[in-house]
Structures are given as structure tokens and as C-alpha cells.
Amino acid sequence: MRPGGAMEPQQQQQQLRNLRDFLLVYNRMTELCFQRCVPSLHHRALDAEEEACLHSCAGKLIHSNHRLMAAYVQLMPALVQRRIADYEAASPGPSVAAEQSGTSPSGS
């Protein structure tokens, strides 16, 4: 049991990265919804129409973010596998050398 219940450094780094990503998404959402929902700047306060638009904007962005992540998580592994396979096919050096050294003693 670590003193003070401190987390591992890797976990803390990961948490920091998550915090950073979350805040970045937050800022982007603010910017986007401001651009799309605020047509005029004659009043200081947000009126009912703008609030309704913000509600839809925020909801839509959050849902699309979730869906994007789900699709990414689903599709990315296959892509990475294909890339690895292509790379291995393009540079067969170590495996070919291993095969040659394996077959030569039996051939002599």
C-alpha cells in the first residue's frame, strides 16, 4: 500500500492527458455553438431562442462525439493490423534470413 494512496505516475500522466483533451473539447464546443447559435449581438443576455439552439448544439456535439469515438474504436484496430501487415510484407528481411539459416544445415 503506497503512502497517501498516490497513483502510479503513468496513471497520473494519463489522467492529465484526459483532462487536457476534455478541456479542449469543451473549448471547441463553446466556439462552435457560439458561431452557430448567436446571430445578433444587440442584447447582452442570451434569449430563449439562443438557449434552445445552445441546448440542441451541445447535445448534438456530445452525441456525435460519442458516436465518433465508438466508430474510431471499432475501425482503428483493423487499420493498424493492415498497416502492420503491409509493413511486414514490404520489409521481409529478418524472417527471410531466419528461413535461409534454418534450411541450409539440412541441405548440406
Partner 1 sequence: LDPLRAQQLATEVEGEMMADMYRRMNSAYHWKCAPMHYKEAELSKGKSVYLDCCVSKYLDIHEWIGKKLTELSMQNEELMKRMQQSSAPV
The reply on whether position 52 binds partner 1 by CB under 8 A is no
One-letter-per-residue 3-state SS of 23-67: HHHHHHHHHHHHHHHCCCCCCCCCCHHHHHHHHHHHHHHHHHHHH
Q: Grid coordinates in use for 63? A: 452525441
The reply on whether position 1 binds partner 1 by CB under 8 A is no
Q: Which stretch binds partner 1 (CB under 8 A): 24-32, 67-75, 79-87, 95-103?
A: 24-32
Q: Grid coordinates in use for 8? A: 502510479
**Interface ranges with partner 1 (CB under 8 A):** 4, 6-7, 9, 12-13, 15-16, 19-20, 23-24, 26-31, 33-35, 37-38, 41-46, 51, 54, 58, 62
